[in-house]
Amino acid sequence: MAEFDLVVRGGTVGTAYDLFEADIGIVDGKIDAIGRNLARGKEEVDAKGKLVLPGGIDSHCHIEEMSPGGGVQEESFASGSAAALAGGTTSFICFLQQWKGHTLTESAPGYAERARQSRADYSFHQIITDPMPEVLEKEVPALIAKGVRSLKVFLTYDPLQLTDAQYLEVLATARRHGAMVTVHCENFDAISWRIEKLLAAGLTDPLQHAWARPPLVEREATHRAIALAELVDQPIQVFHVSCEEAAGEVARAKARGLKVWGETCPQYLTLSHEDLDQPDFGGAKAVCSPALREKGESERVWARIKDGTLDIVTSDHCGFSFATAKRNPGSSGYGQGGAVQRADGMPAFNAIPNGMPGIETRLPVLFSEGVSKGRISINAFVRITSANAARLFGLQGRKGTIAPGADADLVVWDPQMERKVEVARMHQAIDYTPWEGLDVKGWPVVTIRRGEIAVRDNEVIAAPGSGSFLPRGPYDVIKPTGTVPDGFDAASVT
Ligand code: URP
Ligand code: ZN
Ligand code: ZN
């Protein structure tokens, strides 16, 4: 009788810190043995000449979100998870919504049931837009107890933005119950003021989305988010850092020993204002927040990956098709300021829904631009795409590594494969990719999720519903440092 259900044979295995040749034996969805000349499995994957890396964890993506008006994002759990797996991501963390004026229970009814259609493993961050007592005192603690151990807050966007006072209350709640807080850092009032002036000056193109929110509005909010987290002694992760000005704030916080981590996304490493300044309203495809920066800024963001300031690269997948939602916005929630129609019938920049698709391209684009072009090592690639997300979000030991006992989430990469990014060959529901036509070197050829072959040669085999919810228990990273101003721990007073 075969000893293993599946053996991945003869590959070069890469983890956060090691690179070695080995076979990997899998039993019941878990890694059972790593060694040379393992016994035959019931099934075998030949990985000779290939890399075998941990399945990617995309700890920031928006899937099938529901708006209070009844709209649902086009990217469903079935399509988004197919896209994730095809791109080498075996687990993701998306968002439970809260609609302002509603409790968590009332918001986006049935969302967790929709998520059961996922083909990849998944967890949630809970968005807090309205921190009323019922939410902070009852619902959040109950949710954390069920394993949703991270909250997301926005310091901008009309229907989502929190005041500083509300942000402090969310931080204090997370401190008391043991959860990570993730923060979208941009200054709401500064952006609203600039939007108003740009529209009054008749400047309405997609490029002006970036003019409305220059790096300093991100830098200011990043500084404030960190300072207020320090006041409460609550660990935070700064989401989607787009520029050196904001990354510098994260670096200074780390140097001072604060529990602050930074995330960026492939768009900030590869795209620029040029992508916003395209004919035929094409710049709308590149409207996301924080906005894309001027050419050259990406290299400064790469430098902050290399020096360890930025810990994780996620997709921030938030898809709106170009043929529909990008040109005919409904109420996506991800926008700011009143709607203005232009003479050509297109929406002014501020009404274009913010976000771009990326869950399928995150890893190939990053591998090619990072590893193949020599900017980062294979180990650094594993850290920023998988291992660090597991560590920061309470999945360590189970995900993000290749070790006995861990879930057998493995991706076989052909590091020499050259391919063009083409939406026609992709699995996402969104009708475009911002990386259309990009030549990449290095592609995931087999994706294994908990011991099952989920994708082979771009064909998705995993069925909808085969993914599992990942509850997350208490873990060290979210413990406070124990240092508060004047020794007075305000968060402990209720
Ligand atoms: O433009 C973006 N990033 N859209 C997604 C929502 C968010 O801000 O994370
Ligand atoms: Zn955001
Ligand atoms: Zn996001």
Summarised one tens digit per residue, pLDDT across range 76-132 is 999 999 999 999 999 999 999 999 999 999 999 999 999 999 999 999 999 999 999
**Mean pLDDT score of the chain, rounded to an integer?**
97
- For residue 44, the CA-to-ligand 3 centroid distance in Å is 38
- For residue 260, the CA-to-ligand 3 centroid distance in Å is 18
**Neighbouring residues of the ion ligand 2, judged by CB less than 5 Å:** 184
Q: What is the maximum span of the chain, computed from C-alpha positions, in angstroms?
A: 76
Which of 334, 349, 362 to probe ligand 1 with, by most ligand atoms within 8 A of CB? 334
Instruction: Check if the beta carbon of residue 408 is closer than 8 Å to that of residue 43.
Output: no
Q: Quote the pLDDT of residue 340.
A: 81
DSSP 42: E
For the whole prediction, is pTM greater than 0.95?
yes
| Residue 225 CB neighbours (<10 A) | 28
Q: Quote the pLDDT of residue 1.
A: 63
Query: Which ligand minimizes its atom distance to the CA of 319?
Result: 1
- For residue 70, the CA-to-ligand 3 centroid distance in Å is 20
**Pocket of ligand 1 contains residue 62 by CB under 6 Å:** yes
Confidence of residue 339 (pLDDT cuts 50, 70, 90): confident
The predicted model gives 434-444 an average pLDDT of 98
Domains, the chain, ranges and CATH?
Answer: 56-325+355-367 (3.20.20.140)
- Evaluate if residue 31 carries a pLDDT over 90: yes
**Pocket of ligand 1 contains residue 288 by CB under 6 Å:** yes
pLDDT digits (tens, 9 = 90+) for 274-317: 999 999 999 999 999 999 999 999 999 999 999 999 999 999 99
Residue 237: enclosing H or E segment and its boundaries? Answer: strand 236-238
Residue closest via CA to ligand 1's atom 2 equals 355
Residue closest via CA to ligand 1's atom 9 equals 316
The predicted model gives 323-343 an average pLDDT of 83
9 three-state secondary structure = strand
Cα–Cα distance between 83 and 362 in angstroms, integer? 10
Cα–Cα distance between 313 and 287 in angstroms, integer? 19
Confidence of residue 328 (pLDDT cuts 50, 70, 90): confident
Q: Quote the pLDDT of residue 467.
A: 98
- Evaluate if residue 333 carries a pLDDT over 80: no
Cα–Cα distance between 280 and 401 in angstroms, integer? 45
Tokens 């919810």 appear where?
Answer: 469
Cα–Cα distance between 482 and 439 in angstroms, integer? 49
**Pocket of ligand 1 contains residue 289 by CB under 6 Å:** yes
**Quick one: tokens of 250?**
């994260």
**Pocket of ligand 1 contains residue 225 by CB under 6 Å:** no
**Quick one: tokens of 476?**
């060290």
**Quick one: tokens of 298?**
């990406």
Cα–Cα distance between 483 and 234 in angstroms, integer? 10
**Angle 375-257-303 from CA coordinates, rounded to 5°:** 15
Q: Quote the pLDDT of residue 331.
A: 66
Candidates 250, 272, 116; CA nearest to 182 is 250
Q: Quote the pLDDT of residue 387.
A: 98
**Pocket of ligand 1 contains residue 334 by CB under 6 Å:** yes
Q: Quote the pLDDT of residue 13.
A: 98
Residues constituting the chain: 494
Confidence of residue 332 (pLDDT cuts 50, 70, 90): low
Q: Quote the pLDDT of residue 337.
A: 84
Which of 60, 61, 62 to probe ligand 1 with, by most ligand atoms within 8 A of CB? 62
Render 66-110 in DSSP notation, one character per residue.
B-TTS-B-SS-HHHHHHHHHHTTEEEEEEEE---TTS-TTTSSTT
- For residue 227, the CA-to-ligand 3 centroid distance in Å is 22
Q: Quote the pLDDT of residue 69.
A: 86
**Quick one: tokens of 410?**
């493995």
**Quick one: tokens of 143?**
């949710």
Burial of 268 (0-12, 13-18, 19+ CB in 10 A): buried
